[in-house]
Structure 1
């Protein structure tokens, strides 16, 4: 399966009351850039991350969102949505991001990435868009985009093919992890069979299963 990158997007510093970290700064506003961008195992070169307690880290170095899902939101809200508006580093086309299997590997440019988990919407996202009920609507839509870790550092750029080079047999997708974590807790046991899932998320799933009412 091969899609392509529409744009590579880097965050700029945004100061606002809705910004997530204590300093009131956020990197959710990402803008398309010209030329190749280096994806490192510890971050995207030139990107800004505000609230590092919840963003960044080895299991969510890169965030990808599909142009097709962005088009759905543009129609839903009746406004243009530019690449990077979801806070994504990579805007893709013809890549089934929601249907990506956790642990599948993408070859893009000279980099090798591995899908880790879905994005969870936050109040910073709602504030950035100016849509107060966005978290609820985003959750119901259940097209969250995917976080990826960097297995091999390399450069990526707009127009690069996105090739799925490996896919685990367990079949648990980004969309399924998102639904299990939000509106369909009956799916949670499936997540324990996913070794590529970040350890912090596996522990959270185990706690929820041990205490169903938590």
Structure 2
């Protein structure tokens, strides 16, 4: 398994956090997820009513490999800053269109260590970051050429670089809405880099 080396494992000493800019869910298998006024996170399961919620894997490719695997991809978070980067390459992407449940701004999600807790809003919702999203070819069906923009290689080290957000599990339930603040709680050191999940 390739280690991700494109980001420093030392986030700011005291991350200030960020904000939720959109929330999305879909009860059927579809690449994109429509935006919602709010989503409800269920501890140990994921987003209420979302097709990827569950204790065991719900992504179809993973179910085909082993349907008993634990679901480390209950909630998908993506940084809104990626959309501006993609737009500079000619790809217009809006919140929810890449299948994320929570779109964020102001947090370098990809630089967070494994096990980081994200406190979403004031309703008690907490997710634990489990790893990096490993996008598949479906992303090119959404927009041709997009896969190579979100997965590539570091020109200096040759390490795989994944930019399509992070995955998490729900540690505490609650409702999350656009505009909610995000508080970052780093795990105890030593920090482990995020790997694909």
CA 1:61–1:51 in 2, change beyond 3 Å: closer, same or farther? closer
Q: Give the whole-Å Cα distance in 1 for the aligned partners of 2:110 and 2:91.
A: 23
SS at match of 1:98: helix
Number of matched pairs? 161
In structure 1, the partner of 2:55 is none
Does 2:110 correspond to 1:98? yes
2:50 aligned residue (36, 47, 51): 47
Q: Which has the higher helix share?
A: 1
Give the TM-score, by structure 2 length: 0.73
**Cα offsets for 1:91-137 (capped at 9, x unmatched):** 000011111111011111221110001011101222122x1x43333
In structure 1, the partner of 2:129 is 115
Give the TM-score, by structure 1 length: 0.67
Greater Rg by CA: 1
**Structure 2: 5+ residue runs without aligned partners?**
1-15, 53-57, 64-68, 153-160
CA RMSD after TM alignment = 2.2
In structure 1, the partner of 2:170 is 150
Shift of 1:153: 1.3
**Structure 1: 5+ residue runs without aligned partners?**
14-25, 179-200, 202-214
Please say if residues 132 and 162 of structure 2, whose CA atoms lie closer than 8 Å, have aligned partners that are also in contact. no
Q: Which has the higher contact order (CA 8 A, sep 6+)?
A: 2
